[in-house]
Structure 1
């Protein structure tokens, strides 16, 4: 991962982080030894750009929902600071620091800090969030320079929700998952496709879901084992912004986009709900895996998925995967489509053993249509290939003209020798071979 940037874009809901000036748990005035520091003034000015005038985290700058990744670093609290009038304060948490930033003016602002202090930063070499000690002003300057706050061009991403996930270790060594709205937002934080997990549906953050809304109040358990009650999306975002792990307290209810209220009783229910909204995002790479499926008649078919992620989305586990070792195992829909579209002069070489239909040449078009000639006339039809995890991959064909109508139907792909032949079977026992002349 490259240097973290400040100007990042997000689809997440704005997160409210307002704390009263009189909150003694967040800001405590006391006498302490601080040093004048231009870096703390600069750091707070940069951090202030993450929030609007009400203290809400601005949407474009926070795709990860975590301050270390979205901003560049997080202070380890308590933090001892000084105002330009000599008043010193101890800040207990992020909310207290935001409160100070919101109430700073040109005449009253933070310009001092007590060294040494600690910060949490992301380490590219260890793929972990680590604690770093800042001992003096020069080290503070070096930290800010590494953040590259003055990046010339913002990272612009389109608002497409196609989540990708990355795994990171927190300072205690525990693994947590960060979900980005899409690969573009992850790339803005320096992650590449190699960093993405095969599956990430279990880590969706429901804030901002188009499919349902949480019915507040709800309770959540934070990574410090504190249970808090939140009353809005903004409060939920505030509670989670500098946390690495959290759990909902079940049961809770949600309202679907059609107005129905649904009770969510456990994490499995929540995963199923969110997966039903967004589907199961998987990479497009082809790295076939196979599973064996028992048919109603007791026979076993081997079904192939383009990659393991797709198999896991259908409920299979690593223990269900079998070795792909036959031509049938490699009859992927993508491979079938590529062969049919990429070559002409396909014929029905055999229909239940008869070669009567092999005089009709068929052209399969990329738009899902097909043509063939009969008695000097051109006739059309449609075709499609799709995965069917229960019955096997299927090829559907419809012939609207004469001669080939008997081949109309949905056929299971029983075997293939691409790009030369495809063996098909129907539910009533018919068998058909679609082939072309090959070297």
Structure 2
């Protein structure tokens, strides 16, 4: 039974012993076809990013709330995995697997899997979940490459709650509904307007986030595997149903409405009524048709940058206070492919609260993607804070976070400690001045995908400390001195 994943403060040797009867002296790899493969390490590192250090699903990285769509596939359990010390473990559920991952370390980690094994994936041709068999490392790599994880990472969707739903068939032939916070997330997962159903109002089991009420925990749910699970928070609920295509509630339970009233939900019918009212509240203020004909507007963020946001159609944009005069070309973001652009820093002047600030961009392409043109570029020499000496002082001052999930703690001996997504590792860092006069901190991690080059393009800690990543220019890199 899936439970709230708890971080176990025990040695990994004990964790291993709980699941396996094989000793490292037995030739398990040959007898059971357990193969050392980088593909399992790569996929498990990626899977761990879907969860926080407590083993709970992170809402921002899992918009659909289902592992097949948010991660790309789901293992069919049980699995037989091996560690880098040649011991092995039988894993009977996602719960078990995440428990192992959040206890992984640089000294002990999963590096092998028994072939063949099965996975559940979404087949867009049949619009259904299907089971495929992975017979070799080559087939495992083919699966991973088909998931386009890099493209998904670049899919930056605005946090506007305007739910879009699609219908999919599971492996048993049952049709279920997948709910996305908005059309942007659905499109990033490969769906288009033709896949959207008219209304999410009927998605009584699939949507675990509601805007007009909150659950009074604890409550119990029944998964599509007929398991009854009691959860104590919305976070635990999201995690418990992460690898379920649909689930049902155990009645009765209580909710608190946005007005502060406590209501008892006695059965499915009363819960349906509650959701219908919730959906009506969502659409009452803005009675817009469900036609997908996107329009975009350009807004200035609190940091002075320009951002393009997309609405499903003109009606929703107008309901948010914009007019036709505010509409801009939605294809601007799609054309902003700066991966091959040479990194030569450019700057623009922006007025913030009546004062002129200089904003730096890693290259001209990124600046143009924010709506600036070459005519807006100014001399960057006015930014004198970015010396290698100043950067080293800032670098060592406090830990740094990347996208709020990974922490880098730099040491004066040029080592760096990296933690995040249930993993920890170490590495080395160095600093040099780029040809355009800005410091670059190079990070080489011992394991995982944590190596990067950080460009310090603005070092004013008071107004606009700006650090960009070579690996992921859209990443948010922040100094965390809390």
TM score, norm. by length of structure 1: 0.58
Equivalent position of 2:256 in the other structure = 255
Give runs of aligned pairs for residues 218-367 of structure 1, distance below 5 A: 218-279=219-280, 283-285=289-291
* Structure 1 residues 43 and 285: CA distance shift in structure 2, 3 A: closer
SS at structure 2 position matched to 1:56 = coil
Q: Distance in 1 between matches of 2:63 and 2:70?
A: 7
Query: Structure 1: 5+ residue runs without aligned partners?
Result: 1-14, 287-439
Q: Distance in 2 between matches of 1:61 and 1:185?
A: 10
* Structure 1 residues 116 and 27: CA distance shift in structure 2, 3 A: farther
How far the C-alpha of 1:259 sits from its partner, in A, is 1.8
How far the C-alpha of 1:284 sits from its partner, in A, is 3.6
* Structure 1 residues 186 and 214: CA distance shift in structure 2, 3 A: same
Equivalent position of 1:160 in the other structure = 160
Conserved 8 A contact 1:176-1:245? yes
Equivalent position of 1:95 in the other structure = 95
* Structure 1 residues 60 and 126: CA distance shift in structure 2, 3 A: same
Conserved 8 A contact 2:253-2:266? yes
**Deviation string, structure 1 residues 139-173 (Cα, Å, up to 9, x no partner):** 11111111122338621222222111111111111
Conserved 8 A contact 1:67-1:242? yes
Query: Structure 2: 5+ residue runs without aligned partners?
Result: 23-27, 293-482
Q: Quick check: 1:184 aligned with 2:184?
A: yes
Give runs of aligned pairs for residues 77-88 of structure 1, distance below 5 A: 77-88=77-88
Conserved 8 A contact 1:16-1:57? no
SS at structure 1 position matched to 2:121 = strand
Q: Which one of 12, 17, 20 corresponds to residue 29 of structure 1?
A: 20
Higher alpha-carbon deviation: 74-83 or 58-67: 58-67
**Deviation string, structure 1 residues 70-121 (Cα, Å, up to 9, x no partner):** 0011110000000000010000100111111111111111111100000111
Q: Distance in 1 between matches of 2:97 and 2:44?
A: 9
* Structure 1 residues 96 and 19: CA distance shift in structure 2, 3 A: farther
Conserved 8 A contact 1:169-1:176? yes
Higher alpha-carbon deviation: 246-255 or 143-152: 143-152
SS at structure 1 position matched to 2:119 = strand
SS at structure 2 position matched to 1:275 = helix
* Structure 1 residues 136 and 241: CA distance shift in structure 2, 3 A: same
Q: Distance in 1 between matches of 2:5 and 2:137?
A: 28
How far the C-alpha of 1:278 sits from its partner, in A, is 3.2
Conserved 8 A contact 1:118-1:131? yes
Q: Quick check: 1:18 aligned with 2:9?
A: no
Q: Quick check: 1:137 aligned with 2:137?
A: yes
**Deviation string, structure 1 residues 315-358 (Cα, Å, up to 9, x no partner):** xxxxxxxxxxxxxxxxxxxxxxxxxxxxxxxxxxxxxxxxxxxx
Conserved 8 A contact 2:198-2:290? no
SS at structure 2 position matched to 1:120 = strand
Equivalent position of 1:342 in the other structure = none
How far the C-alpha of 1:188 sits from its partner, in A, is 1.1
Conserved 8 A contact 2:164-2:182? yes
* Structure 1 residues 197 and 113: CA distance shift in structure 2, 3 A: same
Equivalent position of 1:395 in the other structure = none
SS at structure 2 position matched to 1:203 = coil
Equivalenced residues, count:
272
Q: Distance in 2 between matches of 1:130 and 1:179?
A: 20
TM score, norm. by length of structure 2: 0.53
Q: Distance in 2 between matches of 1:218 and 1:153?
A: 33
Give runs of aligned pairs for residues 61-76 of structure 1, distance below 5 A: 61-76=61-76
Q: Distance in 2 between matches of 1:218 and 1:285?
A: 36
How far the C-alpha of 1:221 sits from its partner, in A, is 1.6
Conserved 8 A contact 1:79-1:91? yes
Q: Distance in 1 between matches of 2:108 and 2:290?
A: 54
Equivalent position of 2:459 in the other structure = none
**Deviation string, structure 1 residues 221-266 (Cα, Å, up to 9, x no partner):** 2112222222221221122110112111222111112221111122
SS at structure 2 position matched to 1:276 = helix
Equivalent position of 1:428 in the other structure = none
Conserved 8 A contact 1:26-1:91? no
Q: Quick check: 1:114 aligned with 2:114?
A: yes
How far the C-alpha of 1:213 sits from its partner, in A, is 1.2
Q: Distance in 1 between matches of 2:132 and 2:50?
A: 22
